Structure 1
Amino acid sequence: MSDYTLQPIGDRHLTDIERIEQTVHIAPWSKTQLAPAQGCFDHHYALISQDDQIIGYFYARCIAGEAELLNLAVDRPFQGKGVAHQLLTLLKKTLVAAGAKTLWLEVRQSNYGARALYQKQGFELISHRAGYYSCPDGTTEDALVMRYQISSSHVL
């Protein structure tokens, strides 16, 4: 995986990120939601690329020691190849530097791949949120709330 490059997200990346977002998420974020917030020091964004092709990214925020993973995606051809693992490792290092003690996330109950990744990364299931996610057919899906206790010795 040494041929992957990690870098901050900028406006020039939005078209590629939007393409990935549209293909991997059931309810994708809009281009406006994907645009990095200007001047927000509590928001953290990064992408991973290979040969100048964006293959994954994350969006998170950290306020008063509490962090939340808002969005993480890996382009379909690169799923299952350790890219999400690298993104989560980078995220944890970023959050240690930001002073976070806890990282929270919600994941669709049906997203078995993401759930397995998060469990392997040390996240624990805390609770369910009934009907949290909207589905294209008008129904809803439960979210699983997961937590990771950040320790600099675990991620550095």
Structure 2
Amino acid sequence: MTDYTLQPIDDKHLSDIVRIEQAVHIAPWSKTQLAPAQGRFDHHYALVNQDDQIIGYFYTRCVAGEAELLNIAVDRPFQGKGVGHQLLTLLKKTLIAAGANTLWLEVRQSNRGARALYQKQGFELISRRAGYYPCPDGTTEDALIMRAQLGNDAD
């Protein structure tokens, strides 16, 4: 598997992140939401290859030992190649270094690929939020709440 590196997201990454966000999410974040923030509890990193091409990213928050995955994406040409696993592993290591021992996330019920990845990475289903996510057809779908304990098993 190719090794990629994490870089803090800054303005030079924004146009690529917006492009990926629009391509992979049903309800993408806006450019304003994706712009780098200077919050001391926010972690936002781009995963880049040796050619400095962004292939994925994540946005997390960590407060009092608990982290929340707010947004994560892998560019379509890199999906299904282990990049998501590597990105999530690096994300967990980043959060452990920030003092987190638990990571929470929400995922669309229909997002089977992400759910499978999260389960492989040690996340367990905790709860469900009925009708949480809007769908393009005007309906809604449930959010699944998942949690992983961080530590030595983050690899």
Deviation digits for residues 18-74 of structure 1 (CA, Å, limit 9, x no counterpart): 000000000000000001212x11000111122221110000000111100000000
2:108 corresponds in structure 1 to 108
Query: What does 1:88-107 correspond to in 2, within 5 Å?
Result: 88-107=88-107
Match of 2:43 in 1: 44
What amino acid does structure 2 have at the position aligned with 1:107? V
Query: Stretches of 4+ moved more than 3 A in 1?
Result: none
Compute the displacement of 1:145 (Å). Answer: 0.3
Cross-structure match for 1:7? 7
Unaligned runs of 5+ in 2: none
Name the SS for the 2:136 alignment partner.
coil
State the shift of 1:4 in Å.
2.4
Contact 2:67 2:100 in 1 (8 A): yes
**2:71 corresponding residue in structure 1:** 71
Alignment TM-score, normalising by the size of structure 1: 0.94
- Tell me if the contact between 2:121 and 2:154 (Cα under 8 Å) persists in the aligned partners: no
| Aligned equivalent of 2:35 | 35
TM-score under structure 2 length normalisation: 0.95
What's the offset of the Cα at 1:2? 3.5
The equivalent residue for 2:25 is 25
Query: Are residues 37 and 112 of structure 1, via their aligned partners in 2, closer, same or farther at CA, if it must alter by over 3 Å?
Result: same
- SS state of the match for residue 32, structure 1? helix
Matched to 1:147, the amino acid is R
RMSD over aligned Cα, in angstroms?
1.1
Which residue type is aligned with residue 49 of structure 1? V
Question: What residue is the counterpart of 1:129 in the other structure?
Answer: 129
Q: CA deviation at 1:3?
A: 4.6
Find out whether 1:61 has 2:81 as its counterpart: no
Q: What's the offset of the Cα at 1:5?
A: 2.7
Given that 2:131 and 2:140 are in contact with CA atoms closer than 8 Å, whether structure 1 keeps it comes out as yes
| Partners of 2:42 and 2:81 in 1: CA distance | 27
Contact 2:124 2:146 in 1 (8 A): yes
Contact 2:68 2:104 in 1 (8 A): yes
1:80 match: 80
CA apart distance, 1:75: 0.6
Does the residue aligned with 2:29 lie in a helix, a strand or coil? coil
* CA positional deviation for 1:131: 0.7
Residue 130 of structure 1 aligns to a residue whose secondary structure is strand
Aligned position for 2:117: 117
